[in-house]
Amino acid sequence: MIGAYLIGIIVMVVSLYVQWRLKSKFNEYSQVGLSIGLSGKEIAEKMLRDNGIHDVRVVSVEGMLTDHYNPQDKTVNLSSDVFYGRSVSAAAVSAHECGHAVQHATAYSWLKFRSQMVPFLTVSSRYMQWVILAGILMINTSIIPLAIGVALFAATTLFSFITLPVEYDASNRALAWIQNNRVVNEREYGMASDALKWAARTYLVAALGSLATLLYYVSLLMGRRD
């Protein structure tokens, strides 16, 4: 039990550190003007065209680090700083999100698998914590509620790990494109690569944190069965 708490604390500290480094990196590189002078919107539109994608819109959304690709309405959503920005950060983020659009257009297997899980997880996430809480409270009476909660949480953890290849692949596509199309010079490429690596690490830490929590719940369940 103490070991599980210790692992949880370590994961939380590492997560906070990675989040801090990510924000500091993006703030730093947002101050570095892109030599080619294109905005995030222009870069996104160019990458989409170069990949033969003409049915995806590039739109601006509110917030910081709220950038994402929506496969439902086929939109690349860029935060204002990225949409209008002409910095290394803007280039890296806009190209990364377009990487997801390319995955969608080419039926990238991991993205398809991830998308198929979304409807189930959307519903289960509403009740999962309540089921787990009820399972813990009823653990001396019945292990069934906790077993159901653990199964639901296991699906969430699986989703977190499936997200990893999706994110890393999108970054690889982005970096290859901005380099091959000379959107960035050598110095700017290094910065863009560094920024996307820190972004990917947030997903890695989240997946490990989910796994640690799952193992804690499993230990409760197995302890009761013993």
Quote the DSSP letter at residue 141.
T
Distance CA 192, CA 194 (A): 5
Indicate if the pLDDT at residue 2 is higher than 80. Answer: no
Distance CA 75, CA 101 (A): 8
CA 164 distance to own-chain centroid: 7
Q: If you average pLDDT over every residue of the chain, what do you get?
A: 93
| Sign of the alpha-carbon dihedral angle for 175, 177, 179, 183 | negative
Yes or no: say if 44 and 61 are a contact pair by the CB < 8 Å rule.
no
Catalytic entry in 97, 167, 186, 188: 97
Mean pLDDT of 46-53: 97
* pLDDT per residue as tens digits for the range 72-93: 999 999 999 999 999 999 999 9
Q: Is 97 a catalytic residue?
A: yes
CA 154 distance to own-chain centroid: 18
* pLDDT per residue as tens digits for the range 158-185: 999 999 999 999 999 999 999 999 999 9
| Predicted local distance difference test score (pLDDT) of residue 8 | 74
* pLDDT per residue as tens digits for the range 136-157: 999 888 899 999 999 999 999 9
